[in-house]
């Protein structure tokens, strides 16, 4: 018997190291790698299911082509096996035809390869001339969360985390924290959560069902599905109107809570500088928010500036949440009012507002209470506002970026609040430029979103997009079961020429015209995208690689497939070819994922020589190892050791504090402006006739997160 090291990738941002047991050419078992810091020998049930996946009777082991023109769920495609050359030539011929008409008529749908694993999907799209997007398949249930946009603007990050080492009171909305196999980095997160509970963390789980997380919690709060926002608004109401304890210094100096707001809901600005004004109660006059002579900031009250009646943004919040009483929330959520009050009281008490702590020799504010959420909180009509309200709840206790509190997982390559504050002192927002007709994914209609993906192309397939999609490549996704709008999804898949890059026959295969068999994880050599630092805090940089165990069938690595298709389509070589785009994109994409300055370590590929996947991965391995550990390690080292990482004991905590002069937007003034501009443009083009609720835009694009009742 022998053991082969590899990485489990059964959940997003796969992290768990495992040793796969092989005997006489057959996989007989696996175990967590006890030497790996990430999961420390632990695995969840998903990892063990990989053995069944590998030997599944539904595996696609050779290229297959449809012979039945009729497409539909459970309609036999009447597959016939063909050679790889035949299959690739067939695909290339179709893609050449589509590209000749308009390259934007091709799109792809994926979950992890093009983003989490940084495969060649994105370079392929650029080289082809298609709309360059990440285009996650199943975005409505797996990702595309409002969290990504709002965590960036509110807290200068990408994902929500809490300080596992110092937090004492944690409220979670719509997430099991990995305790039942859902979420990111399941096993590493789950055991660290349990360690925190054992040391005294009080876990409050808000979930309609008693999940595993709920069973381990200090308090489980069953709630009516989709009503998290109402509960959070009531918590804010209690803290402000009943408990009347909040971190005033944090609100004054770190957020835009003191900014004066006029009756039009916009900032009252200084006539000379254009900067938002605050009210100095000591000098009893307005001043630009960053004036050097400010003696104090007013958070409450009403004032007059040049004849304009105005209030500090915090006073606007005070008045706004007055309507959201715990009794009101109880009627909506089914959570008793006295329970809501208890949670608010304990949340504030555990926040220890005003206290400090020394970490690694530095003095920090200490706020060991936190509220975080994930898909269950955001995947519905009020999801965006629920995420925003939860961030406001955290701001009230001043816990953003300090020990014990809310930690926004950083993402490099995106302008940081620290470096690029706008004239308002907050992160300048970036919009998807408006165009008409819109692009295939309708991203212009959702200008603040990170991605629209299938929601745009499929859910709004009746819109005259420019241009209509003719060819569709899917891989690592099953959109039939993992996103809403089934009828529209099926209609789209029936009309398009569908190319599947797949390990198994599944629901999507009923609509594929050709399926190219991809390697299973146990057969795969491939870079993993995020290894360690996305889920745990502190963030530890590392890079892993999936190593092949044994081969079963005539399958190919997905990156190899993209290279072969690009070669046949005529977009592999030269300036603007796939190889050229790999050189342009890979160093930037990996820098985006926390590996700063990777471009200076990247050795460009020869754009006139066909690369192997080993050529690409070896360059990545050498560049990443020099950046992370300061020593060059090539692909062969990774094959033997599976990963590299910095010493967790030396990894800095990377707390955001001190904030270096930028402010967090408790009040999203620009959201109102964006909504008004979007509504005006949509009305100009009569977008309402395509089923888009243009008249509802003002209800959602508001400076503060309002409760919007769901239609019955």
Q: How far is CA 394 from CA 347, 348, 532, 598, in A?
A: 10, 10, 25, 34
Domain spans of the chain, in order of start: 2-54, 60-145+415-518+555-572, 159-409
**Cβ-Cβ contacts under 8 Å for 544 (sequence gap 6 or more):** 7, 15, 17, 528, 531, 638, 642, 643
Q: How many CB atoms lie within 10 A of CB 162?
A: 27
Identify the CATH assignment for 159-409 out of 3.90.550.10, 3.40.630.10, 3.40.228.10, 2.102.10.10: 3.40.228.10
Q: What are the residues facing 407 on neighbouring strands?
A: 161
pLDDT-based confidence at residue 457 (cuts at 50, 70, 90)? low
Provide the CB-side half-sphere exposure for 695 (13 A, CA).
3
Cβ atoms of 688 and 694 closer than 8 Å: yes
Same-fold call for 2-54 versus 159-409 = no
Per-residue pLDDT at 444: 84
The DSSP bridge pattern shows strands 514-517 and 497-502 to be: parallel
Query: What is the CA 506 to chain-centroid distance, rounded?
Result: 26
- Fold of the 2-54 domain: N-terminal domain of TfIIb (2.20.25)
- Please write the tens of the pLDDT for every residue from 92-116: 999 999 999 999 899 887 765 444 4
pLDDT-based confidence at residue 691 (cuts at 50, 70, 90)? confident
Per-residue pLDDT at 537: 56
Average pLDDT, the chain: 88
pLDDT-based confidence at residue 530 (cuts at 50, 70, 90)? low
Tell me what the mean pLDDT of segment 144-163 comes to: 77
Following DSSP, what letter does each residue of 69-90 receive, concatenated?
A: ----TT-----EE--HHHHHHH
Tell me what the mean pLDDT of segment 32-45 comes to: 89
Tell me what the mean pLDDT of segment 364-379 comes to: 90
> Where in 137-261 does DSSP place strands (E)?
159-162, 169-173, 202-206, 219-221, 260-261
The answer to whether residue 697 scores a pLDDT higher than 70 is yes
Q: Class assignment of domain 60-145+415-518+555-572?
A: alpha beta
- Please write the tens of the pLDDT for every residue from 538-549: 567 788 889 999
- Please write the tens of the pLDDT for every residue from 546-569: 999 999 999 999 999 999 999 999
DSSP-based three-state secondary structure for 311:
strand
């Amino acid at each position: 018997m022998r053991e082969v090291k590899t990485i489990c990738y059964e959940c997003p941002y796969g992290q768990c190291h495992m040793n796969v047991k092989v005997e006489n050419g057959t996989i007989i078992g696996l175990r967590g790698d006890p030497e790996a810091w990430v999961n420390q020998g632990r695995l969840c049930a998903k990892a063990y299911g990989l053995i069944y996946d590998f030997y599944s009777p539904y595996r696609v082991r050779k290229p297959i082509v449809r012979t039945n023109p009729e497409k539909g769920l459970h309609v036999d495609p009447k597959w016939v096996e063909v050679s790889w050359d035949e299959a690739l030539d067939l695909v290339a011929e179709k893609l050449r035809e589509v590209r000749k008409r308009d390259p934007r008529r091709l799109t792809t749908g994926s979950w992890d390869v093009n983003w989490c694993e940084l495969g060649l999907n994105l370079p392929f799209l650029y080289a082809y001339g298609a709309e360059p997007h990440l285009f996650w398949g199943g975005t409505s249930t797996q990702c595309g969360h409002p969290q990504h946009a709002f965590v960036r603007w509110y807290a200068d990050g990408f994902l929500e985390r809490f300080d596992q080492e110092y937090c004492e009171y944690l409220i979670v909305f719509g997430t099991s924290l990995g305790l039942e196999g859902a979420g990111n980095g399941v096993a590493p997160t789950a055991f660290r959560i349990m360690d925190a509970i054992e040391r005294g963390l009080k876990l409050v789980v808000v979930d309609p069902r008693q999940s595993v997380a709920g069973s381990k919690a200090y308090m489980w709060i069953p709630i009516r599905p989709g009503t998290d926002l109402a509960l959070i608004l009531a918590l804010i109401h209690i803290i402000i109107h009943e408990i009347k304890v909040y971190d005033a210094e944090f609100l004054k100096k770190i957020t835009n809570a003191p900014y004066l707001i006029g009756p039009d809901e916009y900032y009252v600005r200084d006539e000379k500088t254009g900067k938002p004004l605050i009210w100095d109660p000591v000098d009893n006059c307005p001043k630009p928010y960053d004036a050097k002579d400010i003696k104090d900031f007013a958070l409450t009250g009403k004032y007059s500036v040049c004849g304009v009646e105005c209030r500090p943004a915090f006073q606007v919040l005070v008045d706004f949440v007055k309507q959201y009483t715990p009794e009101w929330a109880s009627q909506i959520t089914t959570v008793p009012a006295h329970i809501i009050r208890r949670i608010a009281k304990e949340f504030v008490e555990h926040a220890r507002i005003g206290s400090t702590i020394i970490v690694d020799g530095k003095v920090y504010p200490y706020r060991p209470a936190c509220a975080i959420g994930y898909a269950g909180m955001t995947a519905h009509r009020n999801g965006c506002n629920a995420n925003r309200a939860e961030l406001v709840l955290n701001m009230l206790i001043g816990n953003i970026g300090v020990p014990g509190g809310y930690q926004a997982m950083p993402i490099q390559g995106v302008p940081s609040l620290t470096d690029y504050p706008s004239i308002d002192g907050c992160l300048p927002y970036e919009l998807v430029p408006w165009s008409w007709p819109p692009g295939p994914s309708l991203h212009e209609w959702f200008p603040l979103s990170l991605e629209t993906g299938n929601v745009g192309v499929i859910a709004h397939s009746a819109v005259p997009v420019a241009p209509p999609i003719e060819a569709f490549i899917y891989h690592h996704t099953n959109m039939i079961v993992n996103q809403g709008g089934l009828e529209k999804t099926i209609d789209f898949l029936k009309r398009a020429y569908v190319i599947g890059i797949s390990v198994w026959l599944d629901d999507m295969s009923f609509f594929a015209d050709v399926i190219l068999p991809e390697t299973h994880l146990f057969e795969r050599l491939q870079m993993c995208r995020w290894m360690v630092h996305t889920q745990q805090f502190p963030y530890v940089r590392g890079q892993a690689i999936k190593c092949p165990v044994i081969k079963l069938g005539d399958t190919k690595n997905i990156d190899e497939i993209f290279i072969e298709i690009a070669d046949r389509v005529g977009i592999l070589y030269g300036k603007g070819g796939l190889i050229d785009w790999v050189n342009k994109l890979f160093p930037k994409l990996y820098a985006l994922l926390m590996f700063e300055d990777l471009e200076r370590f990247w050795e460009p590929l020869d754009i006139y020589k066909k690369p192997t996947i080993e050529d690409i991965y070896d360059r990545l391995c050498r560049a990443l190892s020099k950046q992370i550990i300061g020593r060059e390690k090539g692909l062969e080292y990774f094959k033997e050791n599976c990963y590299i990482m910095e010493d967790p004991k030396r990894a800095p905590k990377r707390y955001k504090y001190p904030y270096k002069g930028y402010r967090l937007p408790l009040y999203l003034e620009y959201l109102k402006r964006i909504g008004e501009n979007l509504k005006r443009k949509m009305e100009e083009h009569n977008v309402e006739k395509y089923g888009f609720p243009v008249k509802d835009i003002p209800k959602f694009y508001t400076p503060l997160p309002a409760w919007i009742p769901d239609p019955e």
